[in-house]
Amino acid sequence: MLNFFFAELRRNWIMLRRYPLQALSSTVLMLILFMTLLGGIRYVAGPAQQFGDRLDTLIVGYVLWNTLIFAMGEISGGLQGEAKIGTLEQLFLSPLSGTRVFLLRALAAQTVTIAFNVVTLGFLLLITRTTLHFPPGLFIPLASALAACYGLGLVLGSLALVFKRVEAVIQISQFGLITLVMVPFETWQGGSVNPYYLLPLVPSAALLRDLMVRGQSLDPAVLLVALLNGTVYLVLGSLVFRWAERTTKQQGLLGTY
């Protein structure tokens, strides 16, 4: 399994070296979109509006969203791409299960993408003249967020296996992802338990805001909820993907497009 991961990591590195303009243009596009979003917000709020830590929260949510939409769309996009060129069945002949194959491919691609998102984050901090906290503990909620997002990606991949053309569904899910990672649900808590933490990614995004924007330490209770959230959605996504794989194989639709 490790050999497969490093092979995919090497493949992504080769693709990056051969097509550097694609990665560079994606980074520039992220910067332009953020500055456009920020300019629109400032225009609506008026020149006298003081953002406080809301600008920092916006930056964290925006970079996290860009990181997670790639994680969520990589599996379904990869499935559709392999189906178009006729190599989908070859991947499912691997000694590894289909779930592991596409998860490892997505994880390898995500490793390269995170490096570019870190560079983008640096540019955003420089342009907006803001500062964030980067404690070592932030990797734990980031990992739980990626786990939940891969679970959602496996569900979208299941739809791609069964229905083949799901571009519109992927686009809708990307906009839904904005709500999950950019809205501060932790401030909407009602009672002793926050019911919004049942939604995917919400507790992980709340922890990242606490760590990077507010400079707080990890809340053990919320951290446990975030880890459970990521694990549950990853397991559910894996189960749905296995069902879709079994169904398409039984119907003889795996290699069709």
Q: Which long-range contacts does 120-124 make (Cβ < 8 Å, 24+ apart)?
A: 120/27, 120/30, 120/31, 120/63, 120/66, 121/59, 121/63, 123/31, 124/31, 124/34, 124/59, 124/62, 124/63
Confidence of residue 13 (pLDDT cuts 50, 70, 90): confident
Task: Say how many C-beta atoms besides its own lie within 10 A of residue 132's C-beta.
Answer: 16
pLDDT digits (tens, 9 = 90+) for 81-99: 777 777 777 777 777 887 8
pLDDT digits (tens, 9 = 90+) for 171-202: 888 888 888 888 888 777 655 567 888 899 99
The token duo for 256 is 């069709």
Confidence of residue 51 (pLDDT cuts 50, 70, 90): low
Widest CA span in the chain: 63
pLDDT, average across residues 37-61: 68
Confidence of residue 168 (pLDDT cuts 50, 70, 90): confident
pLDDT surpasses 60 at 117: yes
- Given this model, what pLDDT does residue 46 score? 56
* Ranges of H-type helices in the chain: 2-18, 20-45, 54-85, 88-92, 98-128, 139-163, 167-182, 202-212, 220-251
- Given this model, what pLDDT does residue 232 score? 96
Q: Yes or no: say if 147 and 231 are a contact pair by the CB < 8 Å rule.
A: yes
